[in-house]
Chain A
Amino acid sequence: MSTLASLMKDEKKVGLVVLIIAALLPLVIRNSYILHLIILIMVWTVLGASWNLLGGYTGQVSFGHAAFFGVGAYTACLLHVKAGVSLWLGFIAAGVAGALISIPIGAICLRLRGPYFALSVLALAEVLRLIILHWKSFTEGAVGILLITPVISSRTGYYYLVLGIALLTLLTVSYILRRRMGYFFRAVREDEDAAEALGIFSTRYKLIALIISAFFTGVMGCFFANYTNYIDPYIVFSIGDVSIAMVLIVVLGGIGTFWGPVVGSVIVVLLSEGFRNYFAAASLLVYGALIILVIMFLPRGIVGSIQTRRSA
């Protein structure tokens, strides 16, 4: 534990080492299943880091980030299928669409304190799912959209693509946290009255955190659509598999910590794959029990608990 703690001390060094290893990994690993697992880890890292910026650092918990994920996925796919827009442009369109849809809900609900925002986003995700499900003439409804020619066809290609997105997301988050905005986010989380007395327009900063968070979540929606070739409303707007999974990864890894989403993703992806093989249908049960144990014994998550021990 102590070596791990001292290693985590210099985040830049850790980041660089992880990056170099990550860049070289496909040259060593020829097993495409393992590569797939690493891609999943990076997908969840991006989603976790996005959620963490809003939920962990700014203190605005969301139970409905699938809204932005799904809107991103559908925006890119519909633009491509209906209007022939390049799926590469779709990544940007997906991020922008996710960000845009977050603005009205944030501008209204982030003014309120309490659980209203968390629940409104949950409702937003469900409403969007129903709209897409029933607007069959435009969205194909439950049939979903099949991408015949996604942006890349090779697994290694997707590996580098998601690595790039993950890098961009983590660098953005780390940059923001070191700037004035990052301090304001945390001040709003700690005490909104104190923040306002110190000149911080708290609603504005909560909204900025939401927009950035929704942008990267939307981009990941587009990646997911390309990677799996197929989306339908149940998959991309899923409460359990997207919205709650994002929360769990951050809570397990360490809410409000930079490396929490990374650690959480590794654990959740590997465990859920492992459990699926060993426990089959009972895997969710084992998974659930594990989460309860972590929350009971490591309430600050894994990275949070290490940091607390170090500073104590």
Chain B
Amino acid sequence: MLLEVKGLTKNFAGLIAVKSVDLHVKKGEILGLIGPNGAGKTTIFSMISGFLRPTKGDIFFKGQKITGLSPPRICHLGVTRTFQLVKPLTQLTVLENVMVGVFAKVTDTEGARKEAAKILEFTGQLHQKEVKAGSLPLGDRKRLEISRALGTRPDVLLLDECMSGLNPHEISEAIQLIGKIKENGVTLIVIEHVMKAIMSVSDRIVVINHGEKIMEGTPEQVANDPEVIKAYLGVDYAKR
């Protein structure tokens, strides 16, 4: 097991955002994480990546306990995330943004520049390398989040809604990109609301509702589960 989460719980001053969630990802797998807004998906990401300390429960990466470590420490171990609300380094160019990620593993500037250019070619963003990140449109900012995170050479990449707000063409490009990333041996956990996308990229899907795991299975199993339909569409639809 590459990444394992056991009994993960987060309490915000009495509000239980995440309640005793168990997750695991095998190497090379894509795990989809779905659930209605406010279900606690991003909170789970924030705990895995070190931005939030769990109230209870533990996170193991390659068998090592990483619960409560700082985000940079966890990134150096091989787990990094992107942000749903993108955080481009606005005054830096696209290439420089990716270089910052690459610097996690490469120390010299020229080496970092070359590797960053390779990554941009891989993600199809090389033509924008001299553009300031702050002047990119949303679709390209979402892609830059992924390019930059790939720069850190992660074993596990946590993608937080990298397709929301994209047009259908951009969504199909993003689906292709996720497939390419998987082929390169990176394990992914993907949070997504675009159902068509999550169903097509995921090997396995976990459904979260009100902070609890309500279902886990293949995309087909999940799509036909009455509990899931109830959570998404309401009780009426589940009865039919």
Contacts and interface: CB of A to CB of B under 8 A. Distances in A.
A178 to B, nearest CB: 6
A256 B81 CA distance: 28
B92 A190 contact: yes
B109 interface: yes
A256 B88 CA distance: 18
A65 B192 CA distance: 47
A133 to B, nearest CB: 41
A195 B100 contact: yes
Interface in B70-129: 70-72, 75-76, 80-83, 87-92, 96, 99-101, 103-104, 107-109, 112
B152 interface: yes
Please tell me the size bucket of the interface on A: 20 to 34
Please tell me the size bucket of the interface on B: 20 to 34
Given A195-B100, A196-B71, A180 B87 contact: no
Given A186-B89, A186-B91, A190-B92, A197 B81 contact: yes
Given A183-B99, A199-B104, A190 B89 contact: yes
Nearest to B154: A199
A180 B151 contact: no
B149 interface: yes
A197 B145 CA distance: 11
Given A178-B109, A198-B149, A199-B152, A193 B99 contact: no
B81 A187 contact: no
A179 interface: yes
A309 to B, nearest CB: 14
A197 B49 contact: yes
Contacts of B81: 197
A179 B96 CA distance: 12
Interface string A178-205: 1110011011001101111111111000
Contact of A187 (B51, B71, B82, B100): B100
B148 to A, nearest CB: 6
Contacts of B101: 198-199
Contact of B83 (A184, A187, A190, A194): A194
A198 B152 contact: yes
A180 B107 contact: yes
A107 to B, nearest CB: 15
Those 8 A-B pairs whose CB atoms lie nearest each other, nearest first: A199-B104, A199-B75, A190-B89, A194-B87, A196-B71, A191-B87, A187-B100, A198-B101
Given A198-B103, A200-B104, 18 more contacts: A179-B109, A180-B109, A180-B112, A184-B100, A187-B100, A190-B90, A190-B91, A191-B88, A193-B83, A194-B148, A198-B72, A198-B80, A198-B100, A198-B104, A199-B103, A202-B72, A256-B91, A311-B132
19 contacts: A180-B107, A183-B103, A187-B92, A191-B88, A194-B89, A195-B89, A196-B70, A196-B71, A197-B49, A197-B80, A197-B149, A198-B80, A198-B103, A198-B148, A198-B149, A198-B152, A199-B76, A199-B152, A200-B72
Interface of A: 178-180, 183-184, 186-187, 190-191, 193-202, 256, 311
